[in-house]
Amino acid sequence: MFPIRDHNPSQSLPFVTWALIAVNAVVFLSYLGLFADPRALNLFFQQWGVVPARLAEGQGFATLITSQFLHAGFLHLGMNMLFLYIFGDNMEDVLGHWRFLGFYLLCGVAAAGLQFAFAPTSPIPMVGASGAVAGVLGGYMLMFPRARVDIFIFLIIIIRVIPFPAWFVLGLWFLLQLLGGVAAPSDAGGVAYWAHAGGFLAGFALTLPAWIARGGPAFWRRTLGAPPHPEARYRFGRSNIPRAGRRRTRGPRGPWSR
């Protein structure tokens, strides 16, 4: 299950969000050929990804930015950019174009910082926009907790698109990152759960001034936690795709990243 869209249309042209998606895609394509040589790919990630052990030695601080534009595969890139596409435009509305860019990058730095705090001697490089995108999710949940988010659910024979409030979707996502961080060894490879959690918390905190400027709790009471403008209308709130059933017939029985 994953989000495919929200019902919260942007009020301005989100050109920074689109530019970030484009840059991530172009950078990924620029080193796509390295996936045929795992050794060369690892060296590339070691050079441009965040290596906690190197940060502990006072080196490689530029990778706090460069690592945010690297991804470990098509799925890694695709999921991050999907979340950024759905939620980034509204945070760009809230913060303004250039402040949003600074917010995004700073959330990515904070994400790497929390992962570093849990594994400061790890030699494993961290790559991905997940931390920065997690910051976007944290800010979105603060500003629009009751915005409707359509979730695509695929469970073998059940295919549905069901709307949920943002606080449920994003809050559940954050909880899963915390549980993953507690359960997984902090110095092992795979998903950088603490980076996700750190980015989310940073995004929530950095959005507080904008939320307070709009009235804080009074803003929530005025909007009931929903976007303060008409929501987007789609043809289907819930999917009309019928459940697939088994037709009985007679006859013989057959037989990692951030």
- Contact status, residue 209 vs residue 180, Cβ threshold 8 Å: no
Binning pLDDT at 50, 70 and 90, where does residue 252 land?
Answer: very low
| pLDDT at residue 111 in the model | 95
Average pLDDT rounded to a whole number, residues 174-182? 88
Number of alpha carbons in the 13 Å side-chain half-sphere of residue 214: 18
Give the CA dihedral 17, 22, 25, 31, nearest 10 degrees: -120
Q: Is the pLDDT of residue 249 over 60?
A: no
Q: Give mean pLDDT, residues 94-118.
A: 96
Q: What mean pLDDT is predicted for residues 223-244? A: 68
CA distance 115 to 126: 9
Q: Between these two residues, 228 and 126, which has the higher pLDDT value?
A: 126
Question: Which has the closest alpha carbon to 80: 116, 38, 27, 148?
Answer: 27
Question: Where residue 94 falls among pLDDT bands split at 50, 70, 90?
Answer: very high
The CATH number of 2-223, from 1.20.1250.20, 1.10.10.1100, 1.10.10.10, 1.20.1540.10, is: 1.20.1540.10
pLDDT of 147 higher than 80: yes
